[in-house]
Amino acid sequence: MASPIKILLQTTIPNVEDDWNISRFSMLRDYLAELTDADGAPLFDVTARDRTAPGTPDPVLSTLDQSDYDSLWLFAVDTGDGLTPEDCEAISRFRESGRGLMVTRDHMDLGCSVCTLGGVGQAHFFHSKHLDPDASRHVIDDQETSYILWPNYHSGANGDYQEIEIHGDPHPVLRDADAPTGLIRFLPAHPHEGAVGVPADDRTARVIATGTSKVTGRAFNIAVAFEPSEAGGPAWAESTFHHFADYNWDPAAGCPSFVSEAPGDALAGSPEAQASVRAYVRNLALWLAGRLPVDERAEELDRELDEALEESFPASDPPAIY
């Protein structure tokens, strides 16, 4: 029997009550903790925590590579001071050791402390740091909150759901045998999602799904998947942490006082959309731990690398002499 997958759900802020602290992701925590395998054993062992005071290394994050966690789900809800250099270095070593990393943020500069993370941090674009190289996307999308500048893609109200578009061959995380189409179609909506994209020259990464703004009709990236490689374990860049927040799964759970938009209730009224969100979360947790197949594209890249190495060092070459 396989041991439960050890997951750390972690925010980048201290336990501030009127903010997006880790208690606002309790439905995600409880759902993962309740999942079982075919024998009825827990699939996941979930730890959920906020960081300690900013400005000094967090005792867990700064030593993460020495822990026994299998994956880190990092909810970057800070305004720039959420991770210290020591935290980032340990998180990077954690992934380099082959373990899984999911990093998500929100609009504008929210969560921009992840910019210094190697690899997956470079998949996140912000307003004043690590700008999206496509200047045509530097425009205000959401019209309800004029004080929130780009990126701020409007996929719908909190509490509603959006239909996503799958890019290329469906990624294993997006497959759902119980869905009518065999694929995940819906995720929670949010009025101002952030921006993610494929870092330059990273052959392990690809955009796997996009959303569409309900205001401008503009398409935007929902998620970027990084396949495991010699450089590190599987990783995931998500456009907004609101895909996982209690308030977006059920607005009755409440939100910080600074949230001004009126919520919707479409997700609560759609069993199909709810099932899609749950399947997405379960698949992502399994994939980050190496319990789902890797992307077929990643296997193709491995074959191309092997062929390139064979061309550089053909079998007929005489052995090197040292």
The pLDDT confidence band at residue 295, using thresholds 50, 70 and 90, is low
For 135, the 3-state DSSP assignment is helix
What is residue 292's predicted lDDT score, i.e. its pLDDT? 86
Q: How confident is the model at residue 319, as a pLDDT?
A: 43
Residue 301 pLDDT exceeds 80: no
> How many angstroms separate the CA atoms of 90 and 10, rounded?
14
Q: What's the mean pLDDT in 221-239?
A: 96
Fold of 5-312: Rossmann fold (3.40.50)
- The average pLDDT across 129-146 equals 90
Residue range 74-123, pLDDT digits in tens: 999 999 999 999 999 999 999 999 999 999 999 999 999 999 898 899 99
Domain ranges across the chain: 5-312
Q: Is the pLDDT of residue 320 over 50?
A: no
Mean pLDDT value of segment 203-222? 96
Record the tokens describing residue 132, joined without a space.
């999206």
Tens digit of each residue's pLDDT (9 = 90 or more) over 6-23 = 999 999 999 999 999 999
Q: Specify the pLDDT at position 148.
A: 94
Residues 197-215, mean pLDDT to the nearest whole number: 95
Q: Is the pLDDT of residue 149 over 80?
A: yes
Contact (CB, 8 A) for 100 and 235: yes
Q: Which distant-in-sequence residues (6+ apart) come within 8 Å of 250 by Cβ? A: 27, 159, 267, 268
C-alpha to C-alpha distance for 279 and 105, rounded to whole angstroms: 21
Using DSSP, state whether 52 is helix, strand or coil: coil
> What pLDDT does residue 144 have?
86
Q: Which residue has the tokens 């899984």?
A: 100
Task: Tell me the range of 49-58, 131-140, 143-152, 312-321 where mean pLDDT is highest.
Answer: 49-58
Confidence of residue 231 (pLDDT cuts 50, 70, 90): confident
101, 144, 209, 227 from 192: Cα distances, Å: 23, 9, 17, 27
- CA angle 93–56–74, rounded 5-degree value: 50
Q: What percent of the chain has pLDDT over 70?
A: 91
Q: What is the pLDDT of residues 18-47, one digit of tens each?
A: 999 999 999 999 999 999 999 999 999 999
Q: How confident is the model at residue 293 (pLDDT cuts 50, 70, 90)?
A: confident
When pLDDT is averaged across residues 161-176 and rounded to a whole number, the result is: 96
Q: What mean pLDDT is reported for the chain?
A: 92
